[in-house]
């Protein structure tokens, strides 16, 4: 059974994951607005992935006989973005989520909640991948600078991203 503190923290993480999904959906719309369908696709796939993360936490709480408490989410702050600024915001947000997951791991260890500690390992690895993916696109965007051909090639590459099945 989950402690009240752990249950509350896991419910907060569900909220973080839904907020992440909402941010990525907004980024997808913004990328579409500026005429970059590949970028829009990449962010849409990220949106779907974040929904899957929220569902993992949701199901875990229920498996541990806990109570899910869905919290409100706010509006993403996205205006007049560039491809680079979208990915910089993505990386900043993923770093925030990494901190959240690390705090959950610390709490689980502090409470000797071994089941939750093991459950969170997947998210630790996932966050390494999330930060790396965003950083790689940032590096490419900085490399091409204002070169429209380079941006076009990155957009085409991002268009190939497909949804990955949940593990």
Kindly report, residue by residue over 34-59, the tens digit of the pLDDT. Answer: 999 999 999 999 999 999 999 999 99
CATH class of 4-158: mainly alpha
Per-domain residue ranges for the chain? 4-158
Per-residue pLDDT, 166: 59
* Residue 167, pLDDT score: 61
Q: Specify whether the CB–CB gap between 93 and 76 falls below 8 A.
A: no
| Cα 34 to Cα 156: distance, rounded to the nearest angstrom | 15
pLDDT for res 77: 87
pLDDT digit string, tens, across residues 81-105: 999 999 999 999 999 999 999 999 9
Q: Are 91 and 139 contacting, i.e. CB atoms less than 8 angstroms apart?
A: no
Q: Distance (Å, rounded) from C-alpha 151 to C-alpha 143? A: 10
The model carries a pTM of 0.94
Classified as helix, coil or strand, 53 is: helix
């Amino acid at each position: 059974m989950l402690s009240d503190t752990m249950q509350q923290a896991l419910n907060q993480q569900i909220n973080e994951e839904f907020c992440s999904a909402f941010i990525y959906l907004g980024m997808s719309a913004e990328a579409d607005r500026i005429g970059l369908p590949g970028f829009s696709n990449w962010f849409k796939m990220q949106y779907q992935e974040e929904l899957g993360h929220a569902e993992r936490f949701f199901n875990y709480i229920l498996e541990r006989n806990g109570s899910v408490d869905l919290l409100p989410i706010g509006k993403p702050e996205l205006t007049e973005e560039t491809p680079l600024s979208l990915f910089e915001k993505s990386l900043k947000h993923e770093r925030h989520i990494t901190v959240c997951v690390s705090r959950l791991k610390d709490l689980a260890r502090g409470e000797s909640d071994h089941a939750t500690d093991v459950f969170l390992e997947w998210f630790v690895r996932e966050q390494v991948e999330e930060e790396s993916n965003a950083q790689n696109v940032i590096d490419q965007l900085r490399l091409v600078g204002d070169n429209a051909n380079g941006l076009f090639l990155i957009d085409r590459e991002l268009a190939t991203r497909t949804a990955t099945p949940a593990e």
